[in-house]
Structure 1
């Protein structure tokens, strides 16, 4: 199998690594670089548990090859907060009980964060549409939508 040398910046840290042509981004993140905050769910792009942001755009990391990411800036959910301090979106999830088992939460947070970067005063329907590629098998989404709505309200109030 052919190996490729790539450079990626993950959560602000530059990494150089060798990956096989077939290595998925989620596998490289978790197994080679140790970013286990990105979850492996369905490995078929249906659940969104593996969502990360690449150059500011949310993608399902089980659908991209690591070699495609050469030179990219990648953010996992670990980039959202600081050690011991939640960011406003994470805090909203905590306050509204927007998680239950927590398995889908990293992907939900990364998708919601990217959505809120461009959405101004989103409706509940717009929030649901933004999150539709992320599955939660526990909560029924009501509290997740509440969390994103609360975070959006707080961002509006801070501006």
Structure 2
């Protein structure tokens, strides 16, 4: 028995997108740096009126957008290109956050915690999910329709 057929039989790789978006969402509520979660930092920075405080919500927004795109491709394979575009928008929000967050917090990277690692893992899994979606063949749609 071929291992590739065994994996295809028991694991639907389209679920990788849901798993990665859940990881990105969960990372918002876990500690990132200095034992604060991003949602706690957002609340603190909003109270002292720092203008960039909304950036701490970008992983939450990215997780929601990527989750929607992943559900779309599970619903129907025909929407795979639309799903990839939606997921790229979500990953774009995450990259904007990383490009702003990493230079500002670089001095604290000795104290990074689990939230950062889970978010990066979710982003990498989302990239693998996008590659998997683009490699899907239209034959899968025909099999679903029973042709």
TM-score by length of 1: 0.27
Q: Which has the larger radius of gyration?
A: 2
Higher relative contact order (CA 8 A, sep 6+): 2
TM-score by length of 2: 0.28
Q: When you count strand as a share of all residues, which structure comes out higher?
A: 1
Q: When you count helix as a share of all residues, which structure comes out higher?
A: 2
